Structure 1
Amino acid sequence: MTTTTHDMTTTAATPEQHDISTAMLTVSILGALSALVWHVYAIPIDNPYYGLFNNDVDQYVYTAGGEAIRYGASLYDAPVFFEMEFTYTPFAALLFVVFTLAVPAVAKVLWWAAIIAALIALVAVCLRALNYRNTARTWLFALALAVVCTAFEPVRSTIWLGQINILLVLLVVWDLTRRDTATLRGAGVGIAAGIKLTPAFFLVYLACTRQWRTFWAATATFAATIGIGFLIRPTDSTTYWGRQFDAPARVGAVDSPANQSVNGFLAQLLRFYEVDRYAVHGPNSTVYVTPTWLWLAVATPLVLFGLYAATRAYRSGRILLSVTVAGMSAACASPFSWGHHWVWFVPLFILALHHAHTAHTRYRRLPVTIVLLISFCWWWNYPNREPLEGAPHPIGTGLFMLPRDDLPTWWANIAVPFYSGCYLLLFLATAIYAVRQVNATVRHAPVGQQTVATQGN
């Protein structure tokens, strides 16, 4: 018997539909109100730099990239906004021309509105993938959960910086949770990869799960975005694809606490323990760079295990879990993953909530608790430190402001490795959970029953 389900914990001949209970809706609304209060008072929303809507630096970079296209300037020969370089593809810059068509204040408001709308849509798409009924109550629940998620570190950083990652995750999740017969399934992945390279990891995922029709659609669309870039901006495209796309140092210092990938985790440890053999001394700073052999030795087995878990989840019909694990694997593998690259915590949070709602185990709420503890935007002020941008030095904004020199040595030896690798730890725990859930389903399936995904191409 062939079965399909997007349920995280069970498989059945006909996918069970789920309803949003009154208790779930009530808790979500209370959580949303709490998140709004937190935004106003924890890191004050009126702070001229750290306030939720008072930075938007990445949107300025996007606009500068669009202006370079519109007025014929180079994208990659020099920084486009103060000292910040344009690190996206020429195709992305073509899309960002839209920011130049409105005055900056209007463009910023429209961009924030697009981010929030994409966040709500992402939650709704995840609920659809888990087979929740399409009702007004479900949409109200999605709206409340979206507000709750704004208190997650990756989501708050996305809003604060004016980042694009939520829209890219929405594009991928929407695309890959559709039926295999859906028109141009895979094109969303190709467009996302054409804007920012990290989603190109899903081409590997599609090959591993043998979704060949989707794979070729995604590959063709990705190639088309590259071709459009060469057609419109041949010089910039040659520069980007020839020498820029694989240079993580252009994004930031590899050993920055902002780098939440395996590469960043190892570089931060080398810096913390002052392994001078891997220190690169510059005129104004010293950067610790992970040797390639060490990066690959640690990242390769982790990423392969993530792909294995995603493949097992896909073949058992847990499509959303499969895509989420693959997305986290991509962030793990990337040479440089800012905290906001981990907006995959949004579908992970929805999966954890679904597990708490549908499972019947004693510890069914534990995954929700863990995701909340790791992803929440914890903050602390150090008033004795030099103010940064006219405000006390908080550590919760951007997951990169842990003042390590203020910590006692004994505590730093615990806190710094965990702080640098907590996202990777959550990724590994999720992959292990996915494999264990699939194995448990196989063990308890009736004799002769096969559990396979019918969404394979």
Structure 2
Amino acid sequence: MAQGAKRTIGQVVSVCGLAVAVALFLSVAAVRHGFFDLKVYYGALNFWVHDGGEIYDFLKPGTQYGFTYPPFAALAMLPMAALPWTSAIVVSVAASVLVSAVLIWWLVDPIARRAGWTRWYALALALLLAAAFEPMRETVNFGQVNMLLLFLVAVDLLRLLPAGNRWAGVGIGLAAAIKLTPGIFVVYLLVTGRWRAALTAVGTAATASLVAAALFPDASREFWTSALWNTGRVGELAFVSNQSLRGVVARLNPEHPSTLAWAVLVLATLAVWAWRSRAAAAAGDEATGLALTGAVMCLISPVTWVHHLVWLLPGLILLVDNGMAAPARSRRRRVLLASAAIGYGFLISRIVWAWEKDFTGVDGFLGSNTYVWISLALLLFLPVRRWAAPAGLGSAGGPPPAGSAVEASGVAQLDQTERGRSAGQRHVVGRPLAVR
């Protein structure tokens, strides 16, 4: 049998083996949330469209949870009200899986080609590993929109912005109109001097919000004057699923969490993020800018449930990218790949839930905030890829020429020196809360 055929058979067998392992792991580790959040969306939309109620007055029966997103999100989800419940589940899962596959392809494919890995094989392994990633599986099991928002932002930062496309910023604007927290990426554009893209993002978000206000004035008035400020609708700040700096402070003193301490931590975190983001932008490394801003968004948001941490996925992939770019058998390669493996291992483990009932003591402080420490580590230590070319290389209509220093995806390629070092590498390193 030819060497190529043997290699393909081996890859197929290993993919099937990993698929079985992931399925077994999920059967034990994955919590079945019964599409809880999707039920809230679905119930609120049907209450609004079919029962004549106001969407922000709806609460899922037996809970305090209701629709918490801006009116444009309700407009975007409106077709759900015409679907049977089973169809709504299918659409939700299919959409999350599709955009996840595309995003992971953008980030993994350049690494695979640079390292000499078979591209379909690298993508298959990455997708299977992503399926075990706790924030990803929580997003799917809750019926959440996190991956859709990450995808919209990534379209801008990984595809349009590096190509100099005049539509860069539209994805960020739409994401911010659907949910407010991705608005931090407008700040990223401003901090890094991309004024036109920032204005496009602001204009898109404003236009989307005004369209929703024109169509649904009562719902818009209710959201901006009342529902937005009702923090009781989103859950308990000290709950272990809240893996933000606010959650850390709240768990220190659940009865009287210090707003001052939280504010100081947020300001210090933002200062570090601004400094590191400017360095990434100066190197043309938009993928690292995406990862750093996703991490800081999780840290500074008052509420970051575990499923929101899908924003850490680009950072983990980029750790592998940086590791594979380092010289073979170097200490840098070992440290970076080990860091990616450790971070991933914790983020599939559900470790924070060991302190769900009692997060007191030193072990409670360290363990219940494990995912916060990972977010901080990525913000502080994720390398900026200095081999990245300035943003704008490549044409707006497709990928740059062969040998270009940057992909249309915005994921940088090695220069010839580093390419030579990496040539020949052929292996892959291996709450019941509601609408949050």
Query: With structure 1 as the length reference, what TM-score do the two structures score?
Result: 0.75
Distance change (3 Å), C-alpha of 1:212 and 1:154: same
User: Is the deviation greater in 356-365 or in 208-217?
Assistant: 356-365
Aligned residues, how many? 377
SS in 1 for 2:232: helix
Distance change (3 Å), C-alpha of 1:80 and 1:232: farther
Unaligned runs of 5+ in 2: 1-6, 394-436
Shift of 1:369: 1.8
| Residue 90 (structure 1) aligned with residue 71 (structure 2) | yes
> How far apart, CA to CA, are the structure 2 residues paired with 1:188 and 1:415?
41
Distance change (3 Å), C-alpha of 1:98 and 1:370: same
Spell out, residue by residue over 1:382-420, the C-alpha distance to the aligned partner (whole angstroms, 9 max, x if none).
xxxxxxxxxxxxxx6xx5563444x9xxxx523321233
Which amino acid is the alignment partner of residue 243 of structure 1? S
| Residue 402 (structure 1) aligned with residue 402 (structure 2) | no
Matches within 5 A, 1:437-452: 437=384, 441=386, 452=390
Unaligned runs of 5+ in 1: 1-20, 272-278, 280-287, 379-395
Of residues 161, 164, 173 in structure 2, which corresponds to 1:190?
173
| Residue 306 (structure 1) aligned with residue 267 (structure 2) | no
Structure 2 partner of 1:171: 152
Distance change (3 Å), C-alpha of 1:400 and 1:195: farther
8 A contact 1:63–1:97 mirrored in 2: no
8 A contact 2:19–2:128 mirrored in 1: yes
8 A contact 2:22–2:132 mirrored in 1: yes
Which amino acid is the alignment partner of residue 374 of structure 1? F
| Residue 37 (structure 1) aligned with residue 24 (structure 2) | yes
8 A contact 1:60–1:81 mirrored in 2: no
| Residue 79 (structure 1) aligned with residue 59 (structure 2) | yes
Matches within 5 A, 1:50-449: 50-51=31-32, 55-71=34-50, 72-83=52-63, 84-127=65-108, 132=113, 137-178=118-159, 179-271=162-254, 279=255, 288=256, 290-360=257-327, 361-362=330-331, 363=334, 364-378=336-350, 400=353, 402-405=355-358, 413-434=361-382, 437=384, 441=386
8 A contact 2:47–2:58 mirrored in 1: no
Shift of 1:70: 2.1
8 A contact 1:324–1:344 mirrored in 2: yes
Shift of 1:158: 0.7
8 A contact 2:279–2:384 mirrored in 1: no
Distance change (3 Å), C-alpha of 1:345 and 1:35: farther
8 A contact 1:158–1:165 mirrored in 2: yes
Shift of 1:35: 1.3
Shift of 1:181: 2.2
8 A contact 1:153–1:377 mirrored in 2: yes
> How far apart, CA to CA, are the structure 1 residues paired with 2:165 and 2:62?
44
Which amino acid is the alignment partner of residue 113 of structure 1? A
Spell out, residue by residue over 1:350-398, the C-alpha distance to the aligned partner (whole angstroms, 9 max, x if none).
11222232212322422222221221133xxxxxxxxxxxxxxxxx6xx
8 A contact 2:240–2:356 mirrored in 1: no
> How far apart, CA to CA, are the structure 2 residues paired with 1:167 and 1:155?
12
8 A contact 2:109–2:122 mirrored in 1: no
Spell out, residue by residue over 1:45-82, the C-alpha distance to the aligned partner (whole angstroms, 9 max, x if none).
7xxxx33xx51011111112322442342122341454
Spell out, residue by residue over 1:280-334, the C-alpha distance to the aligned partner (whole angstroms, 9 max, x if none).
xxxxxxxx5x232221011110122123212211211221111111011111111
SS in 2 for 1:253: coil
Q: CA RMSD in A?
A: 2.9
1 or 2, which has the higher helix percentage?
2
> How far apart, CA to CA, are the structure 1 residues paired with 2:88 and 2:297?
30
Query: With structure 2 as the length reference, what TM-score do the two structures score?
Result: 0.78
Shift of 1:93: 1.0
> How far apart, CA to CA, are the structure 2 residues paired with 1:24 and 1:323?
31
Which amino acid is the alignment partner of residue 309 of structure 2? W
Among all aligned residue pairs of Structure 1 and Structure 2, give the percentage whose two residues are the same amino acid. 25
Shift of 1:157: 0.9
